[in-house]
Amino acid sequence: MSLMLQEIREQPAALERTIQAEQKKIEKLGKFLIERDINLIVIVARGSSDNAALLGRYLFEITTGIPVSLCAPSVFTLYKANLKLNRALVIGVSQSGEGVDINTVLESAKNSGAFTIGITNQANSSMTKIADETLLTHAGLEKSVAATKTYTGQMLHFYLLAAALSGSESVYKKIPQFCETALRLESEVKELVQRYVFMENCVVVGRGLNYGNSYELALKLMETCYVVAERFSSADFFHGPLAIIERRFPVILFAPQGVTKQSSIDLLTRLNELHADSFSITNDQTIASLSGRALRMPPEIDEFLSPIPFIIPAQLFAAHLAEAKGINADAPRSLSKVTITV
């Protein structure tokens, strides 16, 4: 069994550990930040961590009303700009804590008077030395090149912090159990991937809170299955990219119940007219019936809590598809675990 598959299965326990270890601290941190009256949240990350940041963006804006800027690191590293961040909260996200560009942004933001947080899986990394506060993902060492348990751990921290900043209830406590349930789809996924062994291109669609998941599954499919995977929100997809869809073109959707449901139905209806090949991860009956294939998630998962449990079958899909394609998911060609960019 691949390390990637092992690490996917470790997620419910890792998420539970993170809640236990970090909840109290983050509640205090939230109070401190509310007093500080921050007016902007900046999130800086790359790769899977940046996909987790996409969730953070929606969560913070929806629950706190504080605008979020997803940072372009080169503004700091290449263009040497000094941003006015004195009332900002700047959050760096890096599995290893060694992303040079991410840490450069944190340092620069600190010098501009921002309060900085590092979300990382490495307690003694460069990031923890720079950031004012560290939030650890208690995932244990991640050995697979393809991030899985650190991705969901980072997402979880955005839930914890958003709850603390908005003074709302800790509904996120249900997430580890939802993930446990999602893992039960594995045997179904293992059969399903056979159908996609010769897939070379695809589009992954997600919207709102699940937008980041569309990036993450696309990245997993690129890294571990060498599939050229595009990613869009269902809204953006209608602005041009729809033209690439022809008969049997595969489209994968994150399509939970909730506010994005109509958007998923509209897209699936159009895709069916174009005879595209659709596959949804969904907990909605109508969406499932409109989809060529569906992986059914429990209906009791509210859209607000769907992103973490919904990525689990997607991770399983990528890991098993890699195996079915005869690729070692743990050692993707051309990649290494820690990527240094400036």
Q: Which of residues 178-217 bind a second copy (CB under 8 A)?
A: 200-201, 207-208, 211
Closer Cβ to a second copy, 136 or 203, answer by number: 203
- Nearer Cβ to a second copy (251/288): 251
> Is position 75 an interface residue for a second copy (rule: CB under 8 A)?
yes
Q: Are 206 and 214 within 8 A, CB to CB?
A: yes
CB contact at 8 A, 122 and 96: yes
User: Is 82 one of the binding residues for a second copy (CB under 8 A)?
Assistant: yes
Of 12 and 99, which CB lies nearer to a second copy in the complex structure? Answer: 99
Query: Least Å distance between CB 228 and a second copy?
Result: 5
Q: By CB under 8 A, which span of 4-12, 22-30, 38-46, 280-288 interacts with a second copy?
A: 38-46
- 100 sits near a second copy (criterion: CB under 8 A): no
The reply on whether position 256 binds a second copy by CB under 8 A is no
Nearer to a second copy, 21 or 78 (CB): 78
Q: Does 245 bind a second copy (CB under 8 A)?
A: yes
CB of 273 to a second copy, least distance (A): 9
What is the spatial distance between Cα 333 and Cα 132, in angstroms, rounded to a whole number?
Answer: 37
Q: Give the residue from 299, 285, 249 showing the smallest Cα distance to 270.
A: 249
Is residue 57 part of the contact set for a second copy (CB under 8 A)? Answer: yes
Neighbours of 1 (CB within 10 A): 8
Decide: is 62 part of the binding site for a second copy (CB under 8 A). Answer: yes
CA nearest to 150, candidates 167, 172, 129, 135: 135
Considering the rule CB under 8 A, would residue 111 count as an interface residue with a second copy? no
- Out of 13, 242, 265, 324, which residue is the one contacting a second copy (CB under 8 A)? 242
Quick check: 79 binds a second copy (CB under 8 A)? yes
Which range touches a second copy (CB under 8 A), out of 18-26, 81-89, 119-127, 136-144?
81-89
Report the interface residues with a second copy, using CB under 8 A: 39-40, 42, 46-48, 50, 57-58, 61-62, 65-70, 72-75, 78-79, 81-85, 87-88, 101, 146, 200-201, 207-208, 211, 219, 222-224, 226-228, 230, 233, 235-236, 238-246, 259-260, 263, 270, 274, 332-335, 339, 341-342
